[in-house]
Amino acid sequence: MRKKIIVVPLFLFSFLISLVCSSQTKSRIKTIIVDAGHGGADQGARGSYSTEAQITLKLALKVGALLEKELPDTRIIQTRTTDITQPVREKAAFANENKGDLFVCIHVNAAPPIRHSKVTGYRTRTYYTGKGNNRKKHTKKQPVYKRWTTPNPRYGTGTYVWAADRDVHKADAVSERFESEGELTGIPDPSTPEGAIASRLWVQKYFKNSVRLASMIEGEFEKSGRKSDGVLQRNEKGIWVLQATNMPAVLIETGFITNKKEEDYLNSEEGQNETADSIVKAVVNFKNVLDNLRNAADLSNREASSDQQSLSSTGSKPSNDQNR
């Protein structure tokens, strides 16, 4: 019996090989740092019966557990798992030391109380002008005010990325990462002009990805019925954990603890589960988007390399510009 010989075209063979290699491409996001804002001596914002540090810890633990379930091949590291004091500089250093590829910081917002005043009456004030024989007595009526405050009704979520005027700090952090990983990855030396330029380009890339993740998080909050203030920046002061971490980074304001209704929601099992679920969905989708983009780029590069090898092996040459 004669055996059939199946001839696979070179381009199809290369494509199949590329698909196999592409499926083995390592993810860009290998380590995710989950940060519960505040803690210990620094309890952050206060509501009528709870504190920011208490809520953020509960949320961070839920987010971490869900991420471990959804992303079993990704390291999930918590900055804190108990109510300990942890300054923001320590948080940023911790994230950098653990080689994080993504920093997710969880906070609770607060709004100042609304001040009110009302004239309740008048009182007579006596004062004098002049000296000696010219000294004269005067009286005038002054209003008496009653002053009080009421809770601020502001509510909703918002996710921060570092401000544009903090790019220098972010570039410094990225340069430090270049320096520590240079021998392993062959990245540019940050002390050279080329390395400095490379770190700035990475900052732009991290900023773009941070905004992408922040938008996805706020999108998930909106899907769950929450009011969203969108993607935010704080230019006047900056946010240290965003600008000093050498990775894409976001800070999530999950609601206003100064609004009793939101405080109740963020302390409830339902509210915490919905909030954590929204964050995790966004992070998982974000990771998938980056991995797909990387795989597509790798596939394109492999196809280009395969085409070049095919041209070389057959002796073909690209057409001259004049003949196109």
Q: Do residues 135 and 162 share a domain?
A: no
Q: Do residues 61 and 169 share a domain?
A: yes
In a domain, 305, yes or no: no
Q: Do residues 144 and 172 share a domain?
A: no
Q: Do residues 88 and 130 share a domain?
A: no
Q: What is the pLDDT of residue 90?
A: 95
Q: Do residues 205 and 91 share a domain?
A: yes
Q: Say whether 59 sits in a helix, a strand or coil.
A: helix
- The pLDDT tens digits for 84-132 are 999 999 999 999 999 999 999 999 999 999 999 999 999 999 989 998 8
Q: Do residues 55 and 166 share a domain?
A: yes
Q: Residue 220: is its pLDDT beyond 80?
A: yes
Q: Residue 290: is its pLDDT beyond 80?
A: yes
pLDDT band, residue 28 (cuts 50/70/90): confident
Q: Do residues 252 and 217 share a domain?
A: yes
Q: Residue 200: is its pLDDT beyond 80?
A: no
**Nearest CA among 67, 200, 87 for reference residue 78:** 67
**Nearest CA among 90, 102, 75 for reference residue 39:** 90
Q: What is the pLDDT of residue 320?
A: 42
Q: What is the pLDDT of residue 186?
A: 52
Q: Residue 20: is its pLDDT beyond 50?
A: no
Q: Do residues 192 and 47 share a domain?
A: yes
Residue-number span of the structural domain to which 268 is assigned: 27-110+153-295
pTM: 0.76
Q: Do residues 80 and 146 share a domain?
A: no
Q: Do residues 251 and 178 share a domain?
A: yes
Interhelix angle for 167-185 vs 88-97, to 10°?
A: 30
Q: Do residues 47 and 131 share a domain?
A: no
